[in-house]
Amino acid sequence: MGVQNKVSLPVIKRLPKYYRYLTNLSADGKEKISSSELAHMMGTTASQVRQDFNCFGGFGQQGIGYKVDVLRAEIGKLLFGDGERLPTILIGAGHLGSAVSSFISRDTNGYRLIGVFDINPDLFGKEMSGVPILPLHTLSDFCAQHHPEVAVLCVPRQSAIDLAGDLVSYGIHGVWNFSHYDLSVEYPELTVENVHLGDSLMSLGYRLRNKE
């Protein structure tokens, strides 16, 4: 399968949605699906679906439709590679950290939670999603020993600013970022996925207040 050199971010962001829909279809026993059926379910157009799939070599023959399981497996390979899960640490063990840790430890997403860090001594020794919470000052040693590749940042903006350089020097190259600090501006070598919950709420507010 020929993957084009550079797939655009909007296409990449739609891959998990395709994967979710195909997983549901497969669970419902559906064997084949056309691009227009898939598009209709997902609230998009058949042309968009075909264009997206063409970025990865097409996945099927036009006019015949796609085999659900084959398509799901192909997209799964793109998302999860050979199935090896990415070793991941989480920093900030508050409410948000606790909620998102379950997404990391859920093995269907392709990650493996290996360490959780906080600065609050009351949390040390407790567990989050089955992983002990450690003092933040042990992070450097931990990374030297266990080589995490991904960090999840559930900390305030200033803590993220203070941590970013260290994380890069410890070998972290991917960040799932819940902080209000846009790391990728200063550290373009990092692959960053931002989840700015406040921004999401504010743009919902704009749309509700400015409805036609």
List binding-site positions. Answer: 92-97
Residues 142, 166 contacting (CB under 8 angstroms): no
Helical ranges in the chain per DSSP H: 9-27, 35-42, 46-54, 68-80, 95-105, 139-146, 157-169, 183-186, 197-209
Which of 46, 55, 96, 119: binder of a second copy (CB under 8 A)? 96
Determine, following the binding rule CB under 8 A, whether residue 205 of this chain makes contact with a second copy. yes
- Least distance in angstroms from the C-beta of 137 to a second copy: 25
Determine, following the binding rule CB under 8 A, whether residue 212 of this chain makes contact with a second copy. yes
Determine, following the binding rule CB under 8 A, whether residue 207 of this chain makes contact with a second copy. yes
What is the Cα–Cα distance from 206 to 201, expressed in whole angstroms? 9
Question: Given its phi and psi angles, is residue 130 left (phi above 0), alpha (psi -120 to 50 degrees) or beta?
Answer: left
Determine, following the binding rule CB under 8 A, whether residue 170 of this chain makes contact with a second copy. no
Q: How many CB atoms lie within 10 A of CB 161?
A: 15
Determine, following the binding rule CB under 8 A, whether residue 168 of this chain makes contact with a second copy. no
Q: By the criterion CB under 8 A, which residues form the site for a second copy?
A: 3, 5-7, 12-13, 15-17, 19-20, 41-43, 78-81, 86, 94-96, 98-100, 102-104, 106, 108-111, 149-150, 173-174, 176, 180, 182, 184-185, 191, 193, 195-212
